[in-house]
Structure 1
Amino acid sequence: MQIKLLAIGKTDNKQLQSLIDDYQKRLGFYIKFEFEIIPDLKKAKNLSEEQQKQKEGDLILSKLQTQDVLILLDENGKQLSSVGFSEYLQKHMNSGIKQLVFVIGGPYGFSKDVYNKAQGKLSLSKMTFSHQMIRLFIIEQLYRGFTILKNEPYHHH
């Protein structure tokens, strides 16, 4: 299995990008991982929230292959502990899927089409974080999940 993370818009904070790169590299020791940025929409100011969600949704869906399992990072999603998340990853690996895709939406969330295509929703917290921070948090949690599965000490630090 491989894991892909899709996010809208690039990270312009150099320190944050450096942390993302670090965890991405660490994660690569456990699983094939790809982090793909979907560029911000041009002229988004001229679009309604609904139009923006629709256009972003079309871009997200265009990045998927038919057999991908799509999981949305969504404030109304299921919350898991880090151990629960590692078990969630293991269950997906055991199911024999080729690619698990996590998506961080744009500022207004996801279009109906994206919700309809998704096989699950996860929430990292009841708190709201910037879309930039969520990237770091999900990559760190993926890394943590694999260290838990391998019984490595990172989880308790």
Structure 2
Amino acid sequence: MMKILILQVGKTKEKPYQEIEAEFLKRLKPLASVEKATIETSNQEMENQVLSTKIAKISHKTKGEYFIVALDCSGKAFSSEELANFLLQKRDQDSGKIAFVIGGPHGFTPPTLQQADLILSLSKMTFTHQMVRLFLLEQMYRAFTILAHKKYHY
């Protein structure tokens, strides 16, 4: 089973967002092992410094085995089918471990972004980091249902 880590800055604060997150995590449970790790900081410099250190620890480049995907509007855009194929490829060809990194309200500094193996864009538009979490979870669920041939994606 694929292991996915969602590394995020700040907790999801609003209850409706928490409920949607919980629902998609529940739906993903039989399809993939998904874990969340939250970084709590109060300023942008510290935020990126902590993110950078955490990325270095888990990256496959430093024997941590995770393929690092940073979510940023400057990145490569995938269709839902392309995301499903990407996850399949990573599951079958690599360690099967992917870390999706979601920056805070200020985004990533260039050095932090350079640590990523892939920069992925969910849209060219800017969203709150809390909404990005929901979009990512929904797209991951959609991708895994595509791979499992379950009715969800039409």
| TM-score with structure 1 setting the length | 0.86
The amino acid that maps onto 2:55 is L
The DSSP-based 3-state class of the residue aligned with 1:87 is helix
Kept after mapping to 1: 8 A contact 2:6/2:101? yes
Identity of aligned residues (%): 36
Kept after mapping to 2: 8 A contact 1:53/1:108? no
Whole-angstrom CA distance in 1 between matches of 2:10 and 2:131: 13
The answer to whether structure 1 residue 60 and structure 2 residue 54 are counterparts is: yes
The DSSP-based 3-state class of the residue aligned with 2:152 is helix
Larger Rg: 1
Choose 54-63 or 64-73, whichever is displaced more. 54-63
Matching of residues 24-103 of structure 1 within 5 Å: 24-39=25-40, 41-42=41-42, 44=43, 49=44, 51-52=45-46, 54-61=48-55, 64=58, 66-103=64-101
Whole-angstrom CA distance in 2 between matches of 1:141 and 1:87: 12
Unaligned runs of 5+ in 1: none
How far did 1:103 drift? 0.4
How far did 1:113 drift? 3.7
The amino acid that maps onto 2:26 is K
Task: Check 1:98–1:80 CA distance in 2 against 1; reply closer, same or farther (3 A cut).
Answer: closer
The answer to whether structure 1 residue 126 and structure 2 residue 120 are counterparts is: no
Whole-angstrom CA distance in 1 between matches of 2:57 and 2:134: 21
C-alpha RMSD of the superposition = 1.8
Kept after mapping to 1: 8 A contact 2:68/2:98? yes
Task: Check 1:15–1:59 CA distance in 2 against 1; reply closer, same or farther (3 A cut).
Answer: farther
